[in-house]
Chain A
Amino acid sequence: MNVFVEKELVAMKFRTVAELVEIAETENLKISEVMILHEAEVMNRPREEIFEEMGRNLDVMEQAIQRGLTEDIRSHSGLTGGDAKKIREYKEKANVLLSGPTILDAVSRATAVSEVNAAMGTIVATPTAGACGILPGTIFTAAEKLGSDRETMIRALFVAGAVGFCIANNACISGAAGGCQAEVGSATAMAAAAVVEMAGGTPSMSAEAIAIALKNMLGLVCDPVAGLVEAPCVKRNAMGAAIAMVAADMAMAGVKSVIPTDEVIEAMYKIGQTMPVALKETALGGLAATPTGRALERQIFGTIDKKS
């Protein structure tokens, strides 16, 4: 137990979203700033170095978006790839969009990164690789819409990091431990809070956005077809990005969650604990166990075995 070390060193210490918001609002700081100060203190690193490292993450995200939207991405299994381009083209050409151009931009970018991940391309795990599309999808779309500069985008990643930090230390962020709600759910909540800060919302609004987003992910199981991070993962990243954007707007409108954010996170954790193992990244249940899921599994591993 290294609690003593942390206790004596960290003035910016937060463990829950409520504590994070309290520090931010009493010190009159942005959530991103609290996270940066926390990082500098705990890891004993200069601020510039931390900012620069986060900037590199942003660059990798941008490259992954670019690849997914312009190159012909196909995973080894052949299950995923090409949908990001398809969505982007539709958005450009369609006479009427049923959702809207901003949502579809977020969705196509999230899909792009997620498809690059499935094809063993380079991505940033946020918080996991399975959920790596949601933050790039939302942050780059919000930045385009808001005219945000690079610093604001890097700050958004620190906001997301702060939220993920609370979720990871109080609950879990892996599909194997908590189901998809812990991965895509966490990423969606992180993105919602990040976008709120980008749009000039308060720390409290970010907290509401987390709760609104995560509540709509509760119970989501991890049931990857053939155990691959492809189906349904890529489409869940797409919809995670859409939910994050809408949750951010709702929070900016002043909508509040009836259940406080930290209790939503705790509920997610408990749901994850009671979720059957078959629905936690074992490919034994859910979509993985459907007749088509099973047939695809046989087909994919049949070919892989022949190759090797």
Chain B
Amino acid sequence: MKYRTVFDIIGPIMIGPSSSHTAGAARIGRAARKIFGRKPKRVIITLYGSFAKTYRGHGTDIALAGGLLDFDTFDKRIVNALEIAKEEGVDIIFRESDELTDHPNTARLRLEDEKGTMEVVGVSIGGGKMEIIELNGFELKLSGNDPVLLVLHHDQYGAVARVATVLASHKINIGFMQVSRKEKGSEALMSIETDQPVEPEVQKEIQDLPGILAVTIL
């Protein structure tokens, strides 16, 4: 089920005017910021479908910028997010695309700084709810509701089992798990939603496992 909690329906508390084009967009921006793990220097945002057609009227650009600055949907600073981004030295560029996507409200965000780049695709599915459906070319599905562990690893046997074993030894239950790869035998990405929070020492333990390239907690 796409909507799991009553607060997906009654909520969020947000700055208007549109839950899909403002609140959902802010959440996509914020999720991208969290996955990136730091304030980006430059962000290129490509908007598709209804986002591309109506983003200025709905303040989608403002909301995405607010999310990238780590503002929540009800943060009044969202209204001035474009100016604040400028002041904070975050360069945000918007592009409109005519390309057809599966969902009408889709945004692709490329975050950059001197340390690296990252690309995510987010869709705003309605009522302020969003999903991240692509990360650096890996297909995945993140709702941002539960704690999520992202593990980049070599596409080899045993990687999934080793990570699961570490989680089990810390009594962390896996609610939802997905493994995605671009091609056989190269790199793969595990996204694991857990019922309990994953503490930094558990992250370190997973990081040190053979074949693991990077671990991020959201």
Contact = CB atoms under 8 A, between A and B. Distances in A.
B49 A2 contact: no
A269 interface: no
Shortest beta-carbon contacts, A-B, top 4: A227-B54, A174-B126, A117-B16, A164-B9
A172 B3 CA distance: 10
A202 to B, nearest CB: 21
Contacts of B103: 177
A128 B53 contact: no
Contacts of B203: none
Interface in B157-187: 175-176
Contacts of A121: 15-16
A121 B126 CA distance: 19
B92 to A, nearest CB: 13
B115 interface: no
A125 B12 CA distance: 6
Interface stretch (B18-26, B32-40, B131-139): B18-26
Contacts of B42: none
A5 B19 contact: no
A173 interface: yes
| Majority DSSP secondary structure for residues of B touching A | mixed
A282 B6 contact: no
Contacts of B58: 227-229
Contacts of B126: 127-128, 168, 172-174, 176-177, 182
B11 A128 contact: no
A226 interface: yes
B144 interface: no
Interface string B109-132: 000000000000000111110000
A89 interface: no
B96 interface: no
Interface string B46-58: 0001100110111
Given A57-B10, A126-B9, A132-B16, 18 more contacts: A43-B4, A118-B16, A121-B15, A124-B11, A124-B13, A130-B17, A130-B18, A160-B10, A161-B6, A161-B7, A164-B9, A165-B3, A169-B1, A174-B124, A174-B127, A177-B125, A280-B104, A281-B54
Given A2-B176, A125-B128, A168-B126, A130 B10 contact: no
A155 B131 CA distance: 29
Contact of A54 (B10, B59, B125, B128): B10
Interface residues of A, number: 67
B57 A161 contact: no
Interface of B: 1-23, 49-50, 53-54, 56-59, 74, 76, 79, 103-105, 124-128, 175-176, 195
A77 B49 CA distance: 23
Contacts of B74: 122
Given A118-B16, A123-B16, A127-B127, A282 B10 contact: no
A43 B175 CA distance: 12
A165 B9 contact: yes
A161 B13 contact: no
A128 B128 contact: yes
A129 interface: yes
Contacts of A132: 16, 19
A125 B6 contact: no
B12 A124 contact: yes
Contacts of A43: 4-5
A182 B16 CA distance: 18
Given A119-B16, A165-B6, A176-B126, A227 B22 contact: no
19 contacts: A57-B10, A118-B16, A118-B17, A122-B16, A124-B10, A126-B10, A157-B10, A161-B9, A161-B10, A162-B6, A165-B8, A168-B8, A169-B1, A169-B2, A174-B19, A174-B127, A176-B104, A177-B104, A281-B54
Contacts of B4: 42-43
